[in-house]
Amino acid sequence: MRSWPGRAASMEKPETLRVRVVYALPEQQLGVDLSLAPGASAADAIDRSNLLQKFPEAAERPLACAVFGRAVPLSHELRDGDRVEILRPLLIDPKESRREAANRSRAAARTRR
């Protein structure tokens, strides 16, 4: 029985991982494409990107990252094609923001009556 030829190649580990590391501010976004050795971690990718040197404020607090929007530890082993995102702290708690919006909406409804 023959197997699909592309399947065997996709099951093997690549010789290098192609990943993108991104950091976004409200007014600026920057991404760096890298080639890393298999087994590289999110921390390895962030170090190699040099984004923390370009944005020192990101390194002033405990570093947090995500892969495609899902929070992962810095020790997370990367896969070919991953996008590593350097996370910034939230300026306001999302629950508090929703609570304030609901209170504003209720207050506006009362004034319309």
Average pLDDT over the chain reads 85
Specify if 7 maps to a domain.
Answer: no
Residue 92 has pLDDT above 80, yes or no: no
Q: How far apart are CA 31 and CA 1, in angstroms?
A: 45
pLDDT the model gives residue 105: 86
Q: What is the pLDDT of residues 22-46, one digit of tens each?
A: 999 888 899 999 999 999 999 999 9
Specify if 9 maps to a domain.
Answer: no
pTM (2 d.p.): 0.70
For residues 35 and 3, the model is more confident at 35
CATH code where residue 72 lies: 3.10.20.30
Q: What percent of the chain has pLDDT over 90?
A: 50
Specify if 4 maps to a domain.
Answer: no
Across the beta sheet with 17-25, what order do the strands follow?
28-36, 17-25, 83-86, 65-67, 70-72
Specify if 98 maps to a domain.
Answer: yes
* Range of the structural domain that residue 34 is part of: 14-112
Specify if 99 maps to a domain.
Answer: yes
Region of 67 on the Ramachandran plot (φ > 0 left; ψ -120 to 50 alpha; else beta): beta
Average of pLDDT values for 94-102? 84
User: Is 95 in a helix, a strand, or coil?
Assistant: helix
Which segment of 6-20, 26-40, 55-69 scores lowest on mean pLDDT?
A: 6-20
Average of pLDDT values for 38-63? 91
